[in-house]
Amino acid sequence: MIGNDIVDLQVSKFSSKVRRLRFINKAFSEKEKEAILKPANTISVLWRIWSMKESAYKAYCRLGGETFHDPKRIECTLTNSNSGTVRIGDRCFKTQTRLSDDYVHTIAFSKDIIEVVSECFRIDNTSYTAQHKACKEALLNELTEEMNGKPGLDLVKNEVGMPHVLANGNRLGVTCSISHHGRYGAYAYMKRS
């Protein structure tokens, strides 16, 4: 299973959440707070860990995990500058993070070896509806190209908000995730074999 999350660092830099120790205390474990609050670390570490939590939570829900609103239940470990692990209960996810000057993008997956296709892109319209539409269109364009122009692709969400790809109304076996924040959008999907 797969999940992804993107954080626009420019938008987050001005977020009142960052300036509140209360947010950090509410959302992060003691071990995560140590990593975030180290003097050598930048604000990007906070948002890297947050995006790890969000992307793993999406993968967890896709696996049938219960939905919940307690980010401390999601425990992140930074392995190196771009990979890590996330534990939610008895489930463990690996993560890969891409950090740029503009955004943090994390993909979480539950299998050791998978081939993932992902893309991050700028979206000039900041309305939720426009961003969601841009992400959906970008993913469907990529999948249409990969499937040699297969017509009739659509992306629909299930009752808990997980996206599924349909071809002419029939569900395909494509596991995917879309995300958007601020000026950026992203998608990730497990490549079909």
Q: What is the mean pLDDT of residues 130-139?
A: 96
Q: What is the pLDDT of residue 18?
A: 55
CATH 3.90.470.20 intervals, the chain: 2-114
Residues 107, 3 contacting (CB under 8 angstroms): yes
| Chain mean pLDDT for the chain | 90
Phi, psi for residue 83 in degrees, rounded to 5: -125, 160
Cβ neighbours of residue 110 closer than 8 Å, sequence gap 6 or more: 1, 2, 59, 63, 91, 92, 93, 94
For residue 158, pLDDT over 70 is answered with yes
CB-count exposure of residue 35 (10 Å: 0-12, 13-18, 19+) = middle
What CA–CA distance (Å, rounded) separates 54 from 179? 10
- Per-residue pLDDT band for 101 (boundaries 50, 70, 90) equals very high
Q: What angle do CA 136, 66, 22 make, to 5 degrees?
A: 85
Task: Quote the pTM value.
Answer: 0.92
Mean pLDDT of 89-118: 91
Could you list the beta-strand ranges (E) of 35-169. Answer: 74-78, 83-88, 91-99, 103-109, 116-122, 153-157, 163-167
Burial tier of 62 (Cβ tally within 10 Å: 0-12, 13-18, 19+): buried
Between 97 and 20, residue with greater pLDDT: 97
Q: Which CATH number fits domain 2-114: 3.30.70.270, 3.90.470.20, 1.10.3110.10, 3.30.70.1400?
A: 3.90.470.20
